[in-house]
Amino acid sequence: MDATALLRAYDDQLRTDAETPSAIRVTRFGPLRLVEFSGGRGLISYRDLDGADAQRIGRLVAGALAYYEADASIARIEWKTRGHDEAPGLHDALVARGFVPDEAESIMIGEAAALVSDVPIPDGVTLRRVREEHDVRAMCAMQDRVFGGEVSPEYAEAILRRLARGDGMELWVAEADGEIVSAGRLEPVAGTEFAGVWGGATLERWRGKGIYRALTAARARSALALGKTYVHSDSTEYSRPILERSGLVKVSTTTPYVWRR
């Protein structure tokens, strides 16, 4: 499939409630899906903006923000934009209401079968799927450090709650001498042909050794075993080239705009 067909499948299958399986509430506001998660997080997403002009888009932004502002438990909102959308005036409307754009990421899609390969990794490095609490907490702490933040017990708690719900998420790690050196999630999307690969992180001294590619291949094998055809990911510039070498194609970009109370 070419990039156009892959992007069409992405829009049709993933920009629905399938995008947010861990939501505790979803409210419709025009074309928008106003999503609420545990921990005081909100997400605004949509299939498209229904041909709205700049004036209507401004009203949609104002109305969505008012919805969340009315709930004191919501501390953070992400408006998830896509680079291929027709959205006149959206950037200006978001910034005017306190949303701050984060770094753009590449939307990567490919056939899961293309990612499955035997990638050589250093001696002593092993890959495995983890489920136990101590492994999950160690994995989350490593990811927090790689992404430049403080180690967050809240992140680990959120991942553990999802595991307890049994929504299909899988956690995969690479270890060396008992230390988790790389990790990532597989998230099969119910009712679609897709599984997502998310949270990819590798300690700096272990990068460039094929470990992340091997973890991606392991997750792709699991996706195929679950009957999924495609793998997708929002990728930073660190992981995009690796996924391209594995067979994924950049079909668009996504930029999160974040508002904090």
Q: Does the pLDDT at position 192 exceed 90? A: yes
The confidence score (pLDDT) of residue 1 equals 64
Instruction: Return the residue matching tokens 């928008």.
Output: 32
The confidence score (pLDDT) of residue 234 equals 92
Share of the chain above pLDDT 90, in %: 79
Spatial contact of 218 and 174, defined as CB atoms under 8 Å apart:
no
Same-domain status, 142 and 35: no
Same-domain status, 51 and 149: no
Would you place residue 51 in the very low, low, confident or very high pLDDT band (cuts 50, 70, 90)? very high
Average pLDDT over residues 6-28: 92
Instruction: Return the residue matching tokens 């996706």.
Output: 223
Would you place residue 22 in the very low, low, confident or very high pLDDT band (cuts 50, 70, 90)? confident
Q: Which of 104, 133, 162 is the last residue of a domain?
A: 104
Dihedral sign, Cα of residue 97, residue 98, residue 102, residue 108: negative
Question: Is residue 110 within a helix (H) or strand (E), and if so which, with residue range?
Answer: strand 105-111
Same-domain status, 84 and 122: no
Q: Which of 81, 104, 127 is the last residue of a domain?
A: 104
Average pLDDT over residues 72-96: 97
In a domain, 58, yes or no: yes
pLDDT tens, position by position, 202-217:
999 999 999 999 999 9
C-alpha–C-alpha distance, residues 38 and 25, integer Å: 9
Q: What residue numbers bound the domain in which 119 lies?
A: 110-253
Q: Does the pLDDT at position 197 exceed 70? A: yes
pTM of the model: 0.85
The confidence score (pLDDT) of residue 138 equals 96
Dihedrals phi, psi of 137, to nearest 5 degrees: -65, -40
DSSP 244-256: HHHT-EEEEEEEE
Same-domain status, 208 and 246: yes
In a domain, 146, yes or no: yes
Query: The domain that contains 214 carries what CATH number?
Result: 3.40.630.30
DSSP class of residue 209 equals S
**Is 214 strand, coil or helix?**
helix
In a domain, 261, yes or no: no
Same-domain status, 96 and 117: no
Widest Cα–Cα separation across the chain: 59
Average pLDDT over residues 230-254: 88
Same-domain status, 136 and 93: no
Number of domains in the chain: 2
In a domain, 81, yes or no: yes
